[in-house]
Chain A
Amino acid sequence: MHEIGDWFQRLYETTGLNFSVFYDAYDWDRYFGGLKMTLLLSVTTILLSLIIGAVGALLQGSPSMLLRLPVNAFVVVFRNTPPLVQIFFFYFGLGTMLPAVEAAGMRVPLLSNVQWAIISLSLFAGAFNVEIFRSGIEAVPRTTLEAAEALGYTRLKAYVHIVLPLAIRVCLPALNNNLVNLLKTTTLAYAIAVPETLYAVKQIWSESQNVFEMMVVLLATYGILVGVLVWLMHRWERAMRIPGYAR
């Protein structure tokens, strides 16, 4: 670890390229903290959005109009409005309306900015996931569902055990795209001062005056994060492949 730091220190002294994150412990801590926050945001929003997508797609296929309509309205509204405005609407608009709670002698909002960011980003990506899962479900033939019914499955059981596993397999490429998009959208949490990578890096470059170098670090970070996510999704896709079913 020390060698890396020394190397970057020497690079700064000889060329003027100031990659302060790699030799300055304080900057590194901030950057690392930002990275952890980005990972936390990404993982929780990905999981929540998948749940929202699965439940939404189930409700969308329900025979009851009362269940279908709210889901449809949710999908249409969240797909066609800017995610940043959604975050502001949730954090400022709804966040100020909720009652504050007493914590450690101070009045703090019921939900912190990190929690609001997770909620609004999950809803945004979830709206896309509902549509993706829906088109996956449409790829499952009626006959499969009828066969399940004949075996005595209830609607919910058939959905969980038969339709969803098949649907996930067909819609994985589209899901992949959306999740990469979600990872990129987590940067918007910057706007409500969630200390994620972009926020941390911005702080570092305004103090250390190394905009260009930190910009390179920032782009490389997101490049690697997206790369890892795509790799994981491709592995999952391969593991979930249905034998004999070549597309």
Chain B
Amino acid sequence: MKGAQPEHRLAVLLPYRPVPTRMSVRIGPLAAAILGFCAIMAASTAWAQTGPAVLSPLQVIVKWSPLLLRGFAFNILISLLAMLLGTIAGLGLGLGLLSEFRPLAAVSWLLTQFFRNAPWLVLLFFVMFLVPFQVTLFKTTIPLPDWIKATVGFALPVMANVAEVVRGAVRSIPSTQWEAAESLSFTRRQTMWLIMLPQCIKRMLPPWMNVYALVAMSTVLASIVGVSEMLTLTAQVHAAEGGRPELFAPLYGFALLCFFLYCYPINLWTARLERRFRIR
């Protein structure tokens, strides 16, 4: 049945290029900042006349921005640490996926699928509830504060995603290179570390940065499990300002703006790298 089909391809469609990160929009980061600022200004003017005793939403944000920005910095710290941990573990897992030793490859595949398909929030709960708050190693007790546990919780899905990135990159290198390395009597490990991985770094960079942007946006999940990062602080600031309902939108808008200003440039840069690496 299959063999009977004609070999020629119908010119129905052009090759599909998944360009999820390509930005067709010409809004620069600066223009976006100004836009966001104007939006908050506009939102705040509606309450500007309510009297001198009540702070307008903009004044509230300005007043609390040092605290909120410190919370945002904490988010970034968590994301960087999770990325570091996840990349190291993911490299190991990715090499496991590519291993010629079948059981190791099977176990790595299972781990990758498990951590990629479980929701991030569920994995976070998993780590938060099932890892003890302190570990005793050689009679010294090491406390594990909740933000470290959260970092580990984020590192798990990162690990699985990075493993897939590594596998994809190594698979994308022509197999003739493996043969050439073999004929030059490189061992498998040498081929991997001296020939394959150095070439892969360039290919891995854009998807790796995509994963990073995802982690940076996911760190707010830590507020659900009680880590005092930006979103927790935002809720506390709102309560401290008397819990006025009209403050919700500007405060969460400010959080949106912070993340947007952080993630959008990363995304733009990723898209640029992708475009540059495609043309060879």
Pair from one complex:
yes
Residues of A within 8 A of B (CB): 60, 72-73, 75-77, 79-86, 88-89, 92-94, 96-97, 128, 131-132, 134-136, 138-141, 144, 166, 169-171, 173-174, 180, 184-188, 190-191, 198, 202, 205, 211-212, 215, 218-219, 222-223, 226-227, 242-247
| Least Cβ–Cβ distance between B74 and chain A, in angstroms | 14
| Contact for A135 among B18, B114, B118, B251, CB less than 8 A | B18
B252 adjacent to A245 (CB under 8 Å): no
Q: Per-residue CB proximity of B170-188 to A under 8 Å, as 1/0?
A: 0000000000000000000
Chain A residues near B221: list those with CB within 8 A.
84, 188
- Does B220 lie within 8 Å of A85, measured CB to CB? yes
A89/B249 contact (C-beta < 8 A), A60-B24, A84-B220, A222-B119 known: yes
A20 to chain B, nearest CB (A): 16
Contact at A223–B118, with CB atoms within 8 Å?
A: yes
Picked from A75, A86, A226, the residue with its CB within 8 Å of the CB of B25 is A75
Taking CB atoms, residues of chain B closer than 8 Å to A134 are: 24
A–B complex contacts, Cβ < 8 Å, 21 sampled: A60-B24, A72-B24, A72-B25, A77-B256, A79-B267, A80-B217, A80-B259, A81-B260, A82-B217, A82-B256, A85-B255, A86-B256, A88-B255, A89-B248, A135-B16, A170-B13, A187-B120, A188-B221, A202-B125, A212-B130, A244-B9
Q: Are the CB atoms of B13 and A139 closer together than 8 Å?
A: yes
Are B249 and A97 closer than 8 Å at their CB atoms?
yes
Per-residue CB proximity of B226-248 to A under 8 Å, as 1/0? 00000100000000000001101
Q: Which of B10, B218, B249 contacts A242 (CB 8 A)?
A: B10
How many A-B residue contacts, CB cutoff 8 Å?
A: 169
B17 interface residue (CB < 8 Å to A): yes
Known: A77-B256, A170-B13. 16 other contacts (CB 8 A): A75-B25, A76-B264, A80-B213, A81-B217, A84-B223, A85-B231, A88-B231, A89-B249, A93-B251, A135-B16, A173-B18, A174-B18, A184-B119, A185-B119, A211-B129, A226-B117
Q: Is B133 an interface residue (CB 8 A)?
A: no
A136 near B25: Cβ-Cβ < 8 Å: no
**Are A190 and B224 neighbours in the complex by a CB distance under 8 Å?**
yes
Known interface pairs A72-B27, A73-B27, A187-B119; A96-B248 also in contact (CB < 8 Å) = yes
B19 at the interface (CB under 8 A from A): yes
In the complex, what residues of A have CB within 8 A of residue B15's CB? 139
For residue B23, CB closer than 8 A to chain A, the reply is yes
Is B49 among interface residues, defined by CB-CB distance under 8 A? Answer: no
Q: Is B53 an interface residue (CB 8 A)?
A: no
User: Could you say which residues of chain B place their CB within 8 Å of the CB of A135?
Assistant: 16-20, 22
Residues of B within 8 A of A86 (CB): 256
A173: chain B residues at CB < 8 Å are: 18
A81 and B9 form a contact (CB under 8 A): no
Q: Does the CB pair B224–A219 fall under 8 Å?
A: no
Residues of B within 8 A of A83 (CB): 217
| From B19, B117, B218, B248, contact of A180 by CB (8 A) | B117
The answer to whether A141 touches B9 (Cβ under 8 A) is no
| Interface check B136, CB cutoff 8 A | no
Please measure, in the bound complex, the distance between the C-alpha atom of A144 and the C-alpha atom of B14, giving whole angstroms. Answer: 11
Please measure, in the bound complex, the distance between the C-alpha atom of A116 and the C-alpha atom of B196, giving whole angstroms: 48
| B231 and A84 contacting across the interface, CB-CB below 8 Å | yes
CB-CB nearest in chain B for A91: B248
Q: With an 8 A cutoff between CB atoms, is B148 at the interface?
A: no
Residues A198 and B264 in contact, CB atoms below 8 Å apart: no
Chain B residues, CB < 8 A from A73: 25, 27
